[in-house]
């Protein structure tokens, strides 16, 4: 297939290269619409795709019916839009939403959908909110209500039911729902979810065939192509030994309970992928040395590979990173992995990173996919991409935005890909020691915390050492600093100040150069994966 980004206006080309799913497709659709009549065909395809991702949403359906041209999908979207009733005030539900009381929101939506099973607005809300329930909460009742939708809502309801079954780990049930949705209304979104349901059952050849069907419908979908290419290459399951010695570095201030959980997860690592790994814990000035005591109590389970260092005061995150990296026993290591004290790694994390290094040995840093502990079916962090926003001469402002296509997207598997990017998460990332030395330490101007890792990635880009996102490794993160950094929180002021420092540190020319380097690497990766998929198609689709 030809490169879907070729010949498009620059901003649209970059947004399409980043990709998106769910609500993330709306920005792509609107950017294509703003590009004018020359992109009418792409606008229509994106409008239909944005609706197909949330097929019970009357608003998305109405936009698709207006922009989608003449097709069965457009007529189906119009049917959903027509079925919707005018929205009225719902003060009780709005109060629950304001408090983010997900459990009561879902209970309310279930009751409304029982009373009004032909109202797409409530079914759409149920499909959107139910995945936000904590892990272990049963999604079966919501799945059943969605699957029972009739008339113009039957295919969209089956699609949404398949999504909930997939998120709940019921891959066979998901397959049944999605095959019914595809029989009534073929869409690329349903074909992709079907591929993921088949893959979850170990049916790789059938999954690859379903990805190919989805790509036929969505030739512009760069995320879909990346996912299909990685599965075809076996990257989604690949494990490898790290090609050198490793230091795992953790710094902690006054979070003994979370550190205990993080260390218990780390102790369960499969060390065969880094047999001589050394783990160093920095007690960053915690009161009464409580962090040191927690770490020291676990020395035995680490088999002699754990060391604990205590500082008398909290020097902040950037200085703590630098302090750990400067230790003699760390300086002699070939690789350095930083791990937050509230990040919980899976047992195979070292083998996953080993596979990432084997696939992209020259990366500046390797990062992972992060799931939120409190909302495990959603992303907390993935790959970020740099979009410059030039400033007026002498003006103080934001020099760039970050495209983060995974925001607010349930995890259907669409971001379990590997690709270059501008920045990866700092809660669990891996550096080759020579690169860490060449780029220099983390900037202590970003103390006590926030944005020092993003700044470091920008410096990597300016050296054309490109971060690599490895979405086949999932780390669960409590992110205890998240609420504190929100407006009104105790850390909001310092976080906002650090944003100003970050944007003021780089002029527009440097930001443009960093962005160009990242997108050039992404384009090369996209073209290589397209060649791999074309070769696979020529071989008859063998996986």
| DSSP one-letter string for 164-183 | HHHHTT-HHHHHHHHHHHHH
200: in domain: no
Q: Which of 146, 161, 185 is the last residue of a domain?
A: 185
Q: Judge if 263 and 163 occupy the same domain.
A: no
Q: What b/e readout covers 363-376, taking b as 16+ CB neighbours within 10 angstroms?
A: bbbbbbbbbbbbbb
Q: Judge if 423 and 323 occupy the same domain.
A: yes
**How many other C-beta atoms can be found within 10 angstroms of the C-beta atom of residue 327?**
17
Q: How confident is the model at residue 1 (pLDDT cuts 50, 70, 90)?
A: low
173: in domain: yes
> 93: which DSSP letter?
H
What's residue 86's pLDDT? 83
- pLDDT one-digit tens code per residue, 503-538: 999 999 999 999 999 999 999 999 999 999 988 887
- pLDDT one-digit tens code per residue, 450-477: 899 999 999 999 999 999 999 999 999 9
Q: Judge if 24 and 113 occupy the same domain.
A: yes
Angle at 483 between CA 461 and CA 138, to 5 degrees: 100
Put simply, whether the predicted model's pTM sits higher than 0.85 gets the answer yes
Calculate the CA 356 to chain-centre distance.
16
Q: Where do the H-state alpha helices sit in 69-153?
A: 72-83, 91-99, 102-115, 120-129, 140-147
> 450: which DSSP letter?
S
What's residue 496's pLDDT? 86
Report the distance separating Cα 200 and Cα 214, nearest Å.
17
- pLDDT one-digit tens code per residue, 476-509: 999 754 444 455 555 678 888 999 999 999 999 9
Mean pLDDT check: name the lowest of 42-46, 91-95, 218-222, 288-292. 288-292
- Residue 280 in this model has a pLDDT that exceeds 60: yes
Q: Judge if 129 and 278 occupy the same domain.
A: no
- Tokens standing for residue 311: 């500082």
231: in domain: no
Q: Judge if 159 and 87 occupy the same domain.
A: yes
Inter-CA distances, 225 with 22, 161, 214, 474, Å? 17, 25, 9, 20
- pLDDT above 90 covers what percent of the chain? 79
Q: Judge if 401 and 489 occupy the same domain.
A: yes
User: Which candidate, 264, 246, 268, places its Cα nearest to that of 348?
Assistant: 268
Q: Kind and range of the H or E element at 189?
A: helix 188-200
Cis amide bond preceding 448, omega within 30 = yes
Return the half-sphere exposure (C-beta side, CA atoms, 13 A cut-off) of residue 511: 20
What's residue 483's pLDDT? 47
DSSP code per residue over 215-228: HHH-TT-HHHHHHH
Report the distance separating Cα 161 and Cα 173, nearest Å.
9
- pLDDT one-digit tens code per residue, 351-382: 999 999 999 999 999 999 999 888 888 888 99
10: in domain: no
Counting the structural domains of the chain, the total is 2
Report the distance separating Cα 460 and Cα 365, nearest Å.
8
> 70: which DSSP letter?
S
Q: Judge if 166 and 264 occupy the same domain.
A: no
3: in domain: no
- pLDDT one-digit tens code per residue, 254-264: 889 999 999 99
Q: Judge if 383 and 480 occupy the same domain.
A: yes
223: in domain: no
Q: Which of 137, 162, 185 is the last residue of a domain?
A: 185
Helices 508-538, 222-233: crossing angle, 10 deg rounding:
60
User: Which candidate, 232, 300, 273, places its Cα nearest to that of 532?
Assistant: 232
- Tokens standing for residue 96: 């629950």
- pLDDT one-digit tens code per residue, 3-33: 888 888 888 999 999 998 887 888 899 999 9
> 445: which DSSP letter?
G
77: in domain: yes
Q: Judge if 272 and 410 occupy the same domain.
A: yes
Helices 508-538, 452-462: crossing angle, 10 deg rounding:
80
Q: Judge if 181 and 303 occupy the same domain.
A: no
- In sign, the C-alpha dihedral spanning 426, 431, 437, 439 is negative
Q: Higher confidence at residue 207 or residue 287?
A: 207
Which CATH number goes with the domain that contains 449? 3.90.550.10
What's residue 488's pLDDT? 57
Phi and psi at residue 478, to the nearest 5° = -75, -30
What's residue 486's pLDDT? 55
- The domain in which residue 261 lies consists of 246-525
Q: Which of 185, 203, 234 is the last residue of a domain?
A: 185
Mean pLDDT check: name the lowest of 136-150, 208-222, 390-404. 390-404
9: in domain: no
What's residue 484's pLDDT? 47
Helices 154-167, 171-184: crossing angle, 10 deg rounding:
160
User: Which candidate, 449, 213, 224, 161, places its Cα nearest to that of 319?
Assistant: 449
Most confident residue range from 89-103, 278-292, 462-476? 462-476
Q: Judge if 180 and 279 occupy the same domain.
A: no
User: Which candidate, 230, 235, 226, 232, places its Cα nearest to that of 4?
Assistant: 226
Mean pLDDT check: name the lowest of 84-88, 368-372, 539-543. 539-543
Q: Judge if 180 and 265 occupy the same domain.
A: no
């Amino acid at each position: 297939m030809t490169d879907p980004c070729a010949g498009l206006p620059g901003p649209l080309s970059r947004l399409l290269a980043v990709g998106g799913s769910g609500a993330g497709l709306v920005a792509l659709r609107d950017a294509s619409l703003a590009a004018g009549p020359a992109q009418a065909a792409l606008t229509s395809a994106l409008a239909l795709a944005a609706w197909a991702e949330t097929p019970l949403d009357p608003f998305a359906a109405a936009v698709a019916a207006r922009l989608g041209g003449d097709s069965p999908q457009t007529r189906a979207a119009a049917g959903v839009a027509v079925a919707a009733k005018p929205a009225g005030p719902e003060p009780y539900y709005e109060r629950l939403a304001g408090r983010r009381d997900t459990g009561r929101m879902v209970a309310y939506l279930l009751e409304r959908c029982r009373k009004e099973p032909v109202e797409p607005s409530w079914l759409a809300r149920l499909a959107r909110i139910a995945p936000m329930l904590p892990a272990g909460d049963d999604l079966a009742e919501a799945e059943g209500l969605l699957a029972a939708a009739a008339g113009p809502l039957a295919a969209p309801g089956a699609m949404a039911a398949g999504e909930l079954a997939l998120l709940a780990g019921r891959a066979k049930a998901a397959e049944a729902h999605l095959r019914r949705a595809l029989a009534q209304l073929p869409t690329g979104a349903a074909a992709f979810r079907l591929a993921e349901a088949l893959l979850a059952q170990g049916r790789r050849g059938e999954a690859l065939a379903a990805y190919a069907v989805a790509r036929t419908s969505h030739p512009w979908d760069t995320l879909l192509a990346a996912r299909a290419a990685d599965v075809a290459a076996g990257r989604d399951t690949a494990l490898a030994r790290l090609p050198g010695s490793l230091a795992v570095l953790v710094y902690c201030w006054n979070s003994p309970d979370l550190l205990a959980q993080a260390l218990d997860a780390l102790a369960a690592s499969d060390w065969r992928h880094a047999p001589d790994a050394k783990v160093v814990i920095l007690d960053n000035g915690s009161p009464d040395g409580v962090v040191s005591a927690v770490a020291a109590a676990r020395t035995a389970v680490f088999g002699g590979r754990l060391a604990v260092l205590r500082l008398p005061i909290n020097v902040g995150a950037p200085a703590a990173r630098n302090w750990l990296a400067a230790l003699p026993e760390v300086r002699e290591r070939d690789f350095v992995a930083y791990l937050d004290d509230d990040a919980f790694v899976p047992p195979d994390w070292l083998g996953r990173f080993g596979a990432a290094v084997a696939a992209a040995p020259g990366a500046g840093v390797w990062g992972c996919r992060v799931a939120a502990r409190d909302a495990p079916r959603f992303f907390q962090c993935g790959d970020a991409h740099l979009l410059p926003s030039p400033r007026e001469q002498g003006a103080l402002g934001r020099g760039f935005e970050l495209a983060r296509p995974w925001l607010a997207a349930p995890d259907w598997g669409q971001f379990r890909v590997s690709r270059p990017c501008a920045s990866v998460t700092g809660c669990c990332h891996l550096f080759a020691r020579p690169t860490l030395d060449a780029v220099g330490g983390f900037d202590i101007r970003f103390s006590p915390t926030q944005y020092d890792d993003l700044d470091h990635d920008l410096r990597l880009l300016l050296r054309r050492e490109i971060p690599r996102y490895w979405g086949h490794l999932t780390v669960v993160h409590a992110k205890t600093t998240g609420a504190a950094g929100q407006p009104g929180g105790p850390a909001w002021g310092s976080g906002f100040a650090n944003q100003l420092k970050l944007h003021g540190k780089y002029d527009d020319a440097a930001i443009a150069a960093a962005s160009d380097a990242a997108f050039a690497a992404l384009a090369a990766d996209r073209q290589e994966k397209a060649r791999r998929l074309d070769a696979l198609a020529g071989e008859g689709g063998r996986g």
